[in-house]
């Protein structure tokens, strides 16, 4: 009788623990959606700035947006200069 009861409890435990849980990426995506961010321009480049606080403690994060026209143009100029120097 104890074995049957133990088997039933084990089966219930397995079925209960198998519910669909969000993946790590889904959890991170949900957190990022809740975070507020602003776009700032510094030195002609666009940056995303996140600010998160929990009570008195908090943190911030700033990242280059990566699609700004100014950086693409700077890169082109730099490549042109390098090519000109190499061709001399």
Contact (Cβ atoms closer than 8 angstroms) between residue 58 and residue 51: yes
What value does the mean pLDDT of the chain take?
78
- What's the pLDDT at 79? 92
* Mean pLDDT, residues 46-58: 71
Distance CA 79, CA 72 (A): 11
Q: How far is CA 13 from the centre of its chain?
A: 34
What mean pLDDT do residues 13-28 have? 70
Q: What is the mean pLDDT of residues 12-21?
A: 68
**Entry pTM:** 0.40
Closest CA to 63 of 50, 80, 54, 73: 50
Mean pLDDT of 37-58: 75
């Amino acid at each position: 009788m104890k074995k049957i009861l133990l088997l039933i409890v084990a089966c219930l435990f397995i079925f209960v623990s198998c519910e669909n849980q969000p993946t790590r990426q889904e959890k991170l995506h949900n957190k990022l959606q809740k975070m507020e961010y602003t776009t700032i321009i510094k030195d002609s480049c666009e940056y995303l700035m996140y600010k998160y606080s929990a009570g008195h403690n908090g943190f911030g994060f700033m990242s280059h947006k990566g699609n700004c026209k100014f950086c693409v143009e700077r890169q082109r100029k730099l490549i042109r200069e390098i090519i000109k120097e190499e061709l001399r």
